[in-house]
Structure 1
Amino acid sequence: MSRIPHIINLLKPVSLFKEVQTLSRRNFIQQTTQALFVGSTLPLLAQCRAKSSQTTPRIAVIGAGLAGLTSAYYLEKVGVIPEIYEASDRVGGRVMSASGLVADGITTELGGEFIDSTHRDILTFCNEFKLTKLDMKGPSEKNLIGIDYFFKGRRISEQEIIREFQHYAPRMQKDVKALPKSMSAKDPKVIELDNKSIDEYLHGIGMSGWLYDILTTSFTSELGIPSGEQSSLNLLVSLNTDTSKGFEIYGDSDERFKVSGGNQKIPSEIRKRLKSDIKTGHHIKRISPNGDGYKLSFENGQESSVDAVIITLPFSVLRDVEITVDLPDRKRRCIKQLGYGMQSKLFIGVNDRLWRGQGYTGYVLSDQIHNGWDSSQMQHNNTGPGGYSLFLGADKGENLEIGQYDKYLEECNKVFPGMKQAANGRKNLYNWNQNPLTRGAYACYKVGQASGIGQAEAQPVGNLFFAGEHCSENFQGFMNGAAETGRKAAEEIIKKFALHTGIQQVTKN
């Protein structure tokens, strides 16, 4: 899915940035200690559970995507078997892999694709389940150009970009430094920058021409909403203004790994280990108060009464669920208004990965194709037939149709001459906007939303808990954001229903 985790929850209780000049998206807006790490506390929790005489609460998990499955996985580790409800007929949500889509024996990711070196929750699953990882930074990739920029019909080198960027970096650094280390919705600088779009901000510092096009196109593709509608904070907390190690348009995200054979193996392996019966075909219709708990009503007429609920639906879908529970105004507005990217992926099968012979990994940013990469990278020793994925955002993504295949193949051929001849005729696409269970790719702050509704995504309300990539403090848009928040939601329930047992918080290193 996302190639970067964008600005998330400006007002969330986590710590701000380590170094202002190299502002890390993952460290932005962090203001308090991190939640206890289940891997360190499970033995303690199990001991506490054994001592407790409290009746095991009835817990429901809404959604069997990666966040919901992760919640259930950690709840079961302490003996709580939740009810899991899923609207579709499969598990995994936006983690979906296909084999043979573009070439025989080649795996293609339709949704969540990249795993950073810092994605602890996902990497923990990979290690625990003994899943083989493909390393996008392996020795075979060292001599290839990692990011290619192709705008206005020509390649623009990293050195040329850095030279031009130096005219604007000082002003951007100044604005980043002006952001408070303890973020507040009332802080004038936060409000000022949040209420400027990326386009407005860049024009305001005098940027124009191809560098302006690179930045606006890249963030339109990455976050899926037109740059003219995105908060400028999305840009400022992502772009690394320190170019001493190169031009890092998406900062410190290294997108180093995928799972060999498909990322779908992660949710599949979790499901294998669950005792919970996953009830598919259950589309939540209403969540209402029921004494000290909640009543869940589904479109198929089924109902369930529970003590607590973990809701993992994207807010783009949750906003159409009738919630009669009293929610804080900020929470309800967040559910109703949070922006979602309109990205789609177009998949092109090839008989030859010719970009490698031309000196490139295949990853490109372009005004015409937005974003493209070798989706077969590191498979079959990088030889033979493979696949190329285009990642288009905003209008291009929302309106993408398979009939546009020839048009985009022609544009790819301009970037990598010979690609038309290399194409094997296999083609497909996945438009996440048209999936009624997602209605978008992943969350993205529009102008004014960071200060206007930020903080509310993961905020529990009573015994309603929330998880999913949109709730992640540091990894929004990534699979790790789903896994991390699923784990944390389980931890919150474990603590809340076992407070009298003496469970102590353990801070993750």
Structure 2
Amino acid sequence: MEHHPASSVSRRVFIGGLSASLIACAAPRRTWSSTTADVIIVGAGLAGLHAASLIEQAGYKVILLEGNDRIGGRLYTLDDLPGGQDAGGIQIGGSYRRFHAIADRLGVERYEPPASGRGSLYHVGGSSLTAAQWPASDINRLSAAEKDTPPDRLFFSYLRNLPKLEKVTDWMDPEMQVHDVSLQEYLTGQGASEEAMRLIEANLNGNSLQGQSALHMIRSLAAFRAGSGPTRYVRGGSQRMTDAMAGALKSDILLNSNVRVIQDEGDGVELGLADGRKFGARHVICTAPFSVMRDMRIEADLPPALRSVTGNLPYTMASFAYIAARDPFWKDDGLPATIWSDDPLLGRVFVLGEDPAMIKVWLNGAAAAAVDRMDDAEAGRAIIARIEKARPSAKGKLRFLRMFSWQKESFARGIYHHIGTGQGAALAAASQYQGERLHFAGEHLAQENPGMEGALETAERAAGRVLSLL
């Protein structure tokens, strides 16, 4: 796979090995004080890069250790695909003020996408139909009270009865934990039919109705309501943002530096890498997703709530198929461009663009796990056959390009976190934890903002804590 070379991002990005200035920083046990690093940051995604910038600007020595062979974390632009398609960090929300401020400072261009047609073509039970056809269709097995609601709107029709937060951060209040029940329990209490729950789960942005908390949706909807302004995209792909952030740093970024041990020594923190190298610093900020931290041995006095979510917080499984089209057939058949399906190998089909003409199949949860078990070429053939059945105008016009699985990414293992059933109180406590030498950041610890903005929020909190102690 092609990447933008590290050397084009920053002269301080090293692919394996050490720069001359870092030889002294590869420290044996209990010798952090002889190194030149004040702070080591684990992970060179949004949170790590932003925290590094803030600490560097305050005049301290920072080193970033990135286990992957690329920077960016879950901002990942697949530059091997026509048009450089984003696999993660796709949309910049209207409320992402930190993201926009950094992008403005670094000259990262954003744009508003052209308006797209509303609605979806529904492919349910092997048959395709429009929203107008849905209520009276024999395929529609919803209850009488649900029949007029299209499949992709069922979930939000039931979420209207969730409590509305005055402030997004109110999700952390102890009294809100009464709503920390599974979405399945919540929907059952709202009178949702079994068929409605089946359709909702078919394309849930999560892994299962049983495993995702209703509190997660309370928080998500509050954050959505708090946002204002249009959704934007990064020109050239979201990874251009982290490229620019890395390029602006003076600090060293070491790629292929997989941290496996974090040990609080009482007077500093030592890091052990998979290849045997050791690093020491006065402070460490770990921005790795909890799903990745599970492979690390962390020898530190951490509160039970933080230990709990580190070990158990769920990350949404997401797998994508990228498919080229001979021409934009969706413009000629009079049907909505997007396909919404209950087929576990079809999920949601989105148009990526017309020049070149491309579509993307998005699968979540059990469907993502199922496609991950298949050979990529086999999966591509099966998916194209299903698209051609759902939309005959596509027949003979599709060419499979590649699959992408966030579960298979060793330094992600999921596209983003969600609050698991019964985990709200523990996650709230973990997000408020303030360490003495070992600190944590990343979108999974955001209190107020979702996604990319949440990662930046936590970076500022962790960097502020470190600077108060240095």
1:126 to 88, 103, 107: 103
Aligned residues: 413
Q: C-alpha separation between the residues in 1 aligned to 2:382 and 2:300? A: 49
Q: Counterpart in 2 of 1:78?
A: 58
1:173–1:108 Cα change, 3 Å: closer
> Does the CA-based 8 Å contact 1:88-1:280 persist in structure 2?
yes
Q: C-alpha separation between the residues in 2 aligned to 1:362 and 1:167? A: 20
Q: Counterpart in 1 of 2:356?
A: 385
Q: For CA contacts below 8 A with separation 6 or more, give which structure has more relative contact order.
A: 1
1:432 maps to amino acid: W
Q: Counterpart in 2 of 1:268?
A: 243
Q: C-alpha separation between the residues in 1 aligned to 2:59 and 2:66? A: 22
1:59–1:177 Cα change, 3 Å: closer
Q: Counterpart in 1 of 2:452?
A: 479
Residue 186 of structure 1, CA deviation: 4.8
Q: Counterpart in 1 of 2:417?
A: 443
1:117–1:362 Cα change, 3 Å: farther
Q: C-alpha separation between the residues in 1 aligned to 2:56 and 2:293? A: 25
1:230 to 212, 222, 225: 212
Q: Counterpart in 2 of 1:503?
A: none
Note if 1:306 corresponds to 2:281. Answer: yes
Q: Counterpart in 1 of 2:302?
A: 327
1:87–1:172 Cα change, 3 Å: closer
Q: Counterpart in 1 of 2:269?
A: 294
> Does the CA-based 8 Å contact 2:318-2:405 persist in structure 1?
yes
Q: Counterpart in 1 of 2:85?
A: 108
Q: Counterpart in 1 of 2:124?
A: 151
Q: C-alpha separation between the residues in 2 aligned to 1:269 and 1:171? A: 42
1:237–1:492 Cα change, 3 Å: closer
2:416 maps to amino acid: Y
1:74 maps to amino acid: L
Residue 350 of structure 1, CA deviation: 1.2
Residue 333 of structure 1, CA deviation: 0.9
1:260–1:108 Cα change, 3 Å: same
Structure 1 segment 29-428 matched on structure 2, within 5 A: 58-101=38-81, 103=82, 106-136=83-113, 138=114, 141=115, 144-145=117-118, 149-152=122-125, 153-155=127-129, 157=131, 164=149, 173=160, 175-176=162-163, 186-187=174-175, 190-191=177-178, 193-195=179-181, 197-208=182-193, 211-219=196-204, 222-223=205-206, 225-238=207-220, 256-358=231-333, 362-368=337-343, 369-376=346-353, 383-400=354-371, 401=374, 402=376, 403-423=378-398, 425-428=399-402
The TM-score, its normalising length taken from structure 2, stands at 0.77
> Does the CA-based 8 Å contact 2:427-2:445 persist in structure 1?
no
Match of 2:315, SS state, is coil
Q: RMSD of aligned C-alpha atoms?
A: 3.4
Identify the range of structure 1 (329-338 vs 150-159) with the bigger mean alpha-carbon deviation.
150-159
Residue 443 of structure 1, CA deviation: 0.9
The TM-score, its normalising length taken from structure 1, stands at 0.72
Note if 1:459 corresponds to 2:433. Answer: yes
Q: C-alpha separation between the residues in 1 aligned to 2:155 and 2:274? A: 54
Residue 275 of structure 1, CA deviation: 0.9
> Does the CA-based 8 Å contact 2:172-2:424 persist in structure 1?
no
Identify the range of structure 1 (466-475 vs 484-493) with the bigger mean alpha-carbon deviation.
484-493
Q: C-alpha separation between the residues in 1 aligned to 2:70 and 2:468? A: 30
Residue 314 of structure 1, CA deviation: 0.6
> Does the CA-based 8 Å contact 2:285-2:441 persist in structure 1?
yes
Residue 265 of structure 1, CA deviation: 0.7
Match of 2:244, SS state, is helix
Q: C-alpha separation between the residues in 1 aligned to 2:335 and 2:231? A: 16
Residue 108 of structure 1, CA deviation: 0.9
The alignment-based identity, stated in percent, is: 25
1:237–1:412 Cα change, 3 Å: farther
> Does the CA-based 8 Å contact 2:406-2:412 persist in structure 1?
yes
Q: Counterpart in 2 of 1:495?
A: 468
Q: C-alpha separation between the residues in 2 aligned to 1:384 and 1:312? A: 37
Q: C-alpha separation between the residues in 2 aligned to 1:280 and 1:362? A: 40
> Does the CA-based 8 Å contact 1:145-1:360 persist in structure 2?
no
Q: Deviations over 1:329-379 (max 9, x none)?
A: 111111111111111111111122222445677444332222232223xxx
Q: What stretches of structure 1 of length at least 5 have no aligned partner?
A: 1-55, 241-247, 377-382, 498-509
